[in-house]
Structure 1
Amino acid sequence: MTRRKLTAEEIELWRKVTNQAERLHPEVPQTVHPTTLPKPKPTKTPKVRIERFEVGQNALGKLARNALKPTVTESLRATPVQMDTKAFSRMKRGKLKPEGKLDLHGMRVDTAHPTLIRFILSAQASGKRLVLVVTGKGKDRDEPGPIPTPRGVLRNQVPQWLSLPPLAQAVLQVTPAHISHGGDGAYYVYLRRVR
């Protein structure tokens, strides 16, 4: 809605009304009434300069990559080392042999979670330090779409379960397994000592 300017008659009529009206609060100083507000000036939008591109010419720069959420493997590799550095490097190279193994292949989430809890807590109680949890890599999705979906439900859920109670107090370090022990489809779980 655009404002129109008041005519001289309308301004004169308004002044007569304000002179005859009684003030509601006479102790408050009277202000000068503005006549009309100036029309706001439109701001000019800057023009985007498009440069010509010839065939064979190099592009100006690399396009920015999308900032997607890192995969579970990438986020586990980025976590700081909580255990002995020498033992951690041996474990990452596949030189440490796991003392126990849990295979979750073919299990559903509702049966895999209690099985994992029972396995980790019993392994810690028996004094084991390094166990292997095999989740599998997961199936490729049949429906490719615009929204990326993580591959493998258990592969994504197991690290989260290991960081939540009651397993968080038992687990010292979680890292993807060496290729000889299952690669991205398995995790090394280094347990704390029972005190």
Structure 2
Amino acid sequence: MKRRSPSVHDDDSRLFREAIGDVRPMVAAEVVPERPRPAPVPAMRDADEAAVAADSMLFDYDPADLEVGEELSYLRDGYPPKLLKQLKRGQFSIQADVDLHQMNAAAAQLTIGEFLAECHRDGIRCVRIIHGKGLRSKAAGPVLKGLTDKLLRRRDDVVAFASARPMQGGTGAVVVLLKA
């Protein structure tokens, strides 16, 4: 039996119990704290990008087909030609770039895929890829330039690309406009 404080009289205690009625103890509910939800990760897109990287190592183009000074240019179907003209004139601000110098084709391909995926995640819309002019490629022609051209044409997130303006690298770099 519980001891009562001396200030509570038996009459007061009885009146209180009558007023309240039957009481049953509460069972404490288990409270599970809410964990913050993780940021969504486009797992399928990343897997697709990895598959494209492996597939594109099967070179179905001859790098010698591209001349050292040849300008690259591409506009995805469904977009106005004015967009490509603006890109060639340098009317878009380059927000990020990557340099492929000293890389072999496999490393460059992986770097391009990772770079564009990162830009897409960060909401970057206009980028520059520096592939070089292929001056040391000997008879094979500009390997990284051809690889860059091929990879960019295959990507759904690429709206347009064009060789950079002379002060941005000229035919040794390409400016790429990505989907928003």
Instruction: Give the TM interval when normalised to the shorter protein.
Output: 0.5 to 0.7
Q: Confirm or deny: 8 A CA contact 1:155 1:185 kept in the other structure.
A: yes
Match of 2:177 in 1: 190
Larger RCO, structure (CA 8 Å, separation 6 or more): 2
The answer as to 2:98 corresponding to 1:98 is no
**Contact 1:137 / 1:184 at 8 angstroms: preserved in 2?**
yes
8 Å CA contact retained: 2:68, 2:135? no
Q: Distance in 2 between matches of 1:78 and 1:171?
A: 9
Q: What is the Cα deviation at residue 109 of structure 1?
A: 1.1
CA shift in 2, pair 1:113/1:80, >3 Å: closer
Identity %, equivalent residues: 26
CA contact (8 A) 2:75 2:81 kept: no
* Residue of structure 2 equivalent to 1:118: 114
Mapped contact 2:163–2:170 kept (Cα < 8 A)? yes
TM-fit CA distance, 1:125: 1.6
Structure label with greater radius of gyration: 1
Matches within 5 A, 1:10-89: 71=67, 76-77=72-73, 83=79, 85-89=81-85
Structure number having the greater helix percentage:
2
- Deviations 1:16-40, CA, capped at 9 Å, x for gaps: xxxxxxxxxxxxxxxxxxxxxxxxx
The residue aligned with 2:158 is: 171
Q: Give, as a single letter, the amino acid of the residue that structure 2 aligns with 1:109.
A: A
Asked if the contact 1:82–1:172 (Cα under 8 Å) also holds between the matched residues in 2, the reply is no
Stretches of structure 1 that go unaligned for 5 or more consecutive residues are 1-67, 143-148
1:71, CA displacement in angstroms? Answer: 4.8
2:150 to 154, 160, 165: 160
Shift of 1:81: 7.2
State the alpha-carbon separation in 1 of the partners of residues 84 and 75 from structure 2: 12
* CA-CA distance at 1:97 after TM superposition: 2.1
Q: Is the 8 A contact 1:135 1:186 kept in 2?
A: yes
97 and 81 in structure 1: CA distance in 2 versus 1, 3 angstrom threshold: farther
Cα separation, partners in 2 of 1:72 and 1:138, compared to 1, 3 Å = closer
TM-score computed with the length of structure 1 as normaliser: 0.51
Can you give the 5+ residue segments of structure 2 that lack an aligned partner in the other structure? 1-63
* Cα distance in 2 for residues equivalent to 1:104 and 1:141: 14
Normalised by the length of structure 2, the TM-score is 0.55
Corresponding residue pairs, total: 117
CA distance in 2, matches of 1:72, 1:79: 21
Compared with structure 1, are the counterparts of its residues 72 and 160 closer, same or farther at alpha carbon in structure 2 (3 Å cutoff)? farther
Match status 1:130 vs 2:130: no
